Structure 1
Amino acid sequence: MSPKSPPPPSAPQRRPSTFRALMRLRPYAKPAIPRIVLGAVAALAAAVVALLIPAVLQLLVDGPLSSGDRAQVWPAFAVVLGLGIVEAVMIGLRRRLVLTPSTHVEASMRNSLYAKLQDLPVAFHDRWQSGQLLSRSVSDLSLIRRWLAFGVVLLVVNVLTIVVGFAVLFFYSWALALLFMVASMPVFFVSFAFEKRYSIVARRSQDQVGDLATSVEQSVHGIRVLKAFGRGKHSLDEFAKQADDLRGTEIEKAQAISRLWLWLLLVPDVAFALCLLGGIWLAADGQLTVGQLFAFFATATVLRWPVESIGFLLSMTFDTRTAADRFFEVLDSENAITDPAEPVTIEAPEGRLEFADAHFRYQDSPAQYPDLVNGVDLVVEPGETMALVGLTGSGKTTLLALVSRLYDVTGGGVRIDGVDVRDLSRQELRRLVGMAFEDATLFSASVRDNVLLGRPDLADDPAEADRVMREALEIAQADFVDRLPDGVDTRVGEEGLSLSGGQRQRLALARAVAARPAILVLDDPLSALDVDTEARVEAGLRRVLASTTSLIVAHRPSTVTLADRVALLENGRVTAVGTHSDLLATNEHYRWVISSLDDDTTPAREEVLA
Structure 2
Amino acid sequence: MATTPAPAQDRSAVRALLRLWPYVRPVRARLFSAAFVAILASCVGLVIPLVLKWMVDGPIAGRDPAGVWFGALCLLLLGLTEALLFGLRRWLVARPLARVEASMRAALYRHLQRLPVAFHDRWASGQLLSRGMTDLMLLRMFLAFPLTFLLVNGVTILVGVIIMLLQDWTLGLVVLGPAVPVLVTCVIFEKRYAALARRAQDQVGDLTTVVEESVLGIRIIKGFGHHRSQARAFRDLSKTLRGTELRKARLLATIWGVIVTLPEVAIGAALVVGVVQVADGALSAGTLVAFLSTALALRWPVESIGFLLAMSQEAATATERYFEVMDEEVEGTTAAPDTGSGTAPDTGSVDVRDKGLRFHDVGFRYPDAPPGTPPVLQHIDLHIRPGESMALVGATGSGKTTLTALIPRLYELTSGRITLDGVDITDLSREALRTKVAVAFEEPTLFSAAVGDNVLMGAKDTAGTADLERALAVAQADFVHALPQGADTQVGEQGLSLSGGQRQRLALARAVVGQPEFLVLDDPLSALDVHTEAAVEAALRQVLADTTALIVAHRPSTVLLADRVALLSGGRIAAVGTHHELLRTNAEYAHLMSGEEEGAR
**TM-score (norm: length of structure 1):** 0.94
Give the CA deviation at 1:33. 1.4
| Aligned partner letter, 1:424 | L
Give the structure 2 partner of residue 407 of structure 1: 411
Give the structure 2 partner of residue 588 of structure 1: 587
Structure 1 segment 299-378 matched on structure 2, within 5 A: 299-335=294-330, 337-338=332-333, 340-341=336-337, 343=339, 345-346=344-345, 352-378=356-382
Structure 1 residue ranges without an equivalent (≥5): 459-463, 601-610
Distance 2:81 2:370 in 1: 69
Give the structure 2 partner of residue 5 of structure 1: 3
Give the CA deviation at 1:375. 1.1
Give the structure 1 partner of residue 515 of structure 2: 516
Distance 1:126 1:564 in 2: 34
| Aligned partner letter, 1:246 | L
> Are residues 1:438 and 2:416 paired?
no
Structure 1 segment 524-539 matched on structure 2, within 5 A: 524-539=523-538
Give the CA deviation at 1:480. 0.8
Give the structure 1 partner of residue 568 of structure 2: 569
> Are residues 1:167 and 2:125 paired?
no
After superposition, the Cα gap between the structure-2 partners of 1:157 and 1:485, relative to the gap in structure 1 and judged at 3 Å, is same
Give the CA deviation at 1:487. 1.1
Distance 2:280 2:178 in 1: 23
- Candidates 82, 93, 98, aligned match of 2:77: 82
Give the structure 2 partner of residue 217 of structure 1: 212
Structure 1 segment 22-37 matched on structure 2, within 5 A: 22-37=17-32
Q: Does the aligned pair in 2 maintain the 1:337–1:405 contact within 8 Å? A: no
- Candidates 266, 288, 312, aligned match of 1:293: 288
Give the CA deviation at 1:342. 5.9
Distance 1:411 1:7 in 2: 28
Give the structure 1 partner of residue 247 of structure 2: 252
Give the CA deviation at 1:8. 4.3
Give the structure 2 partner of residue 461 of structure 1: none
Give the CA deviation at 1:599. 10
Secondary structure at the aligned position of 2:298 is classed as helix
Deviations 1:550-602 (A, max 9, x none): 100001111001000000110011111111111112111111111136899xx
Give the CA deviation at 1:348. 7.8
Structure 1 segment 138-177 matched on structure 2, within 5 A: 138-177=133-172
| Aligned partner letter, 2:168 | S
Distance 1:163 1:8 in 2: 38
After superposition, the Cα gap between the structure-2 partners of 1:539 and 1:597, relative to the gap in structure 1 and judged at 3 Å, is farther
After superposition, the Cα gap between the structure-2 partners of 1:599 and 1:393, relative to the gap in structure 1 and judged at 3 Å, is closer
After superposition, the Cα gap between the structure-2 partners of 1:476 and 1:348, relative to the gap in structure 1 and judged at 3 Å, is farther
Give the CA deviation at 1:258. 0.6
Give the structure 2 partner of residue 186 of structure 1: 181
Give the structure 2 partner of residue 545 of structure 1: 544
After superposition, the Cα gap between the structure-2 partners of 1:424 and 1:30, relative to the gap in structure 1 and judged at 3 Å, is same
Give the CA deviation at 1:99. 1.3
Secondary structure at the aligned position of 2:525 is classed as coil
**Which of 39-48 and 449-458 deviates more?**
449-458
> Are residues 1:491 and 2:490 paired?
yes
Q: Does the aligned pair in 2 maintain the 1:496–1:504 contact within 8 Å? A: yes
Q: Does the aligned pair in 2 maintain the 1:437–1:522 contact within 8 Å? A: yes
Q: Does the aligned pair in 1 maintain the 2:384–2:548 contact within 8 Å? A: yes
Distance 2:108 2:598 in 1: 47
After superposition, the Cα gap between the structure-2 partners of 1:342 and 1:18, relative to the gap in structure 1 and judged at 3 Å, is closer
Give the structure 1 partner of residue 556 of structure 2: 557
| Aligned partner letter, 1:384 | E
Distance 2:98 2:10 in 1: 28
Q: Does the aligned pair in 2 maintain the 1:478–1:506 contact within 8 Å? A: yes
| Aligned partner letter, 1:512 | A
| Aligned partner letter, 2:560 | T
Deviations 1:142-181 (A, max 9, x none): 1001111111001110111001110111111111011101
- Candidates 3, 7, 21, aligned match of 2:16: 21
Give the CA deviation at 1:210. 0.2
Q: Does the aligned pair in 1 maintain the 2:406–2:412 contact within 8 Å? A: yes
Q: Does the aligned pair in 2 maintain the 1:509–1:525 contact within 8 Å? A: yes
Deviations 1:274-317 (A, max 9, x none): 01111111111222110110011111111110001111100000
Distance 2:337 2:88 in 1: 49
Secondary structure at the aligned position of 1:480 is classed as helix
Q: Does the aligned pair in 2 maintain the 1:361–1:371 contact within 8 Å? A: yes
| Aligned partner letter, 1:139 | T
Q: Does the aligned pair in 1 maintain the 2:41–2:85 contact within 8 Å? A: yes
Give the structure 1 partner of residue 383 of structure 2: 379
Q: Does the aligned pair in 2 maintain the 1:557–1:597 contact within 8 Å? A: no
Secondary structure at the aligned position of 2:337 is classed as coil
Secondary structure at the aligned position of 1:596 is classed as coil
Give the structure 2 partner of residue 47 of structure 1: 42
Give the structure 2 partner of residue 396 of structure 1: 400
Q: Does the aligned pair in 1 maintain the 2:111–2:330 contact within 8 Å? A: no
Structure 1 segment 91-110 matched on structure 2, within 5 A: 91-110=86-105
Q: Does the aligned pair in 2 maintain the 1:337–1:408 contact within 8 Å? A: no
Give the structure 2 partner of residue 606 of structure 1: none
Q: Does the aligned pair in 2 maintain the 1:455–1:514 contact within 8 Å? A: yes
After superposition, the Cα gap between the structure-2 partners of 1:586 and 1:473, relative to the gap in structure 1 and judged at 3 Å, is same
Distance 2:138 2:346 in 1: 48
Give the CA deviation at 1:420. 1.0
Deviations 1:107-160 (A, max 9, x none): 111111111111110000101010000000000011001111111001110111
| Aligned partner letter, 1:115 | R
Distance 2:596 2:482 in 1: 34
| Aligned partner letter, 1:510 | A
Structure 2 residue ranges without an equivalent (≥5): none
Deviations 1:204-243 (A, max 9, x none): 0000000000000111111111111111101111111111
Give the structure 1 partner of residue 454 of structure 2: 450
Q: CA RMSD in A?
A: 1.7
Distance 1:371 1:163 in 2: 64
Give the structure 1 partner of residue 54 of structure 2: 59
> Are residues 1:233 and 2:233 paired?
no
Distance 1:80 1:7 in 2: 55
Distance 1:34 1:240 in 2: 46
Q: Does the aligned pair in 2 maintain the 1:476–1:507 contact within 8 Å? A: yes
| Aligned partner letter, 2:526 | S
| Aligned partner letter, 2:517 | A
**TM-score (norm: length of structure 2):** 0.96
| Aligned partner letter, 2:42 | A
Q: Alignment length, in residue pairs?
A: 590
Q: Does the aligned pair in 1 maintain the 2:357–2:421 contact within 8 Å? A: yes
Give the CA deviation at 1:45. 0.6
* Structure 1 segments (4+ residues) deviating >4 Å: 346-351, 597-600
| Aligned partner letter, 1:320 | A
Q: Does the aligned pair in 1 maintain the 2:458–2:512 contact within 8 Å? A: no
Give the CA deviation at 1:363. 2.5
| Aligned partner letter, 2:578 | T
Distance 1:201 1:582 in 2: 65
Deviations 1:330-379 (A, max 9, x none): 11123464474363714689971000000001123234422111111000
Give the structure 1 partner of residue 202 of structure 2: 207
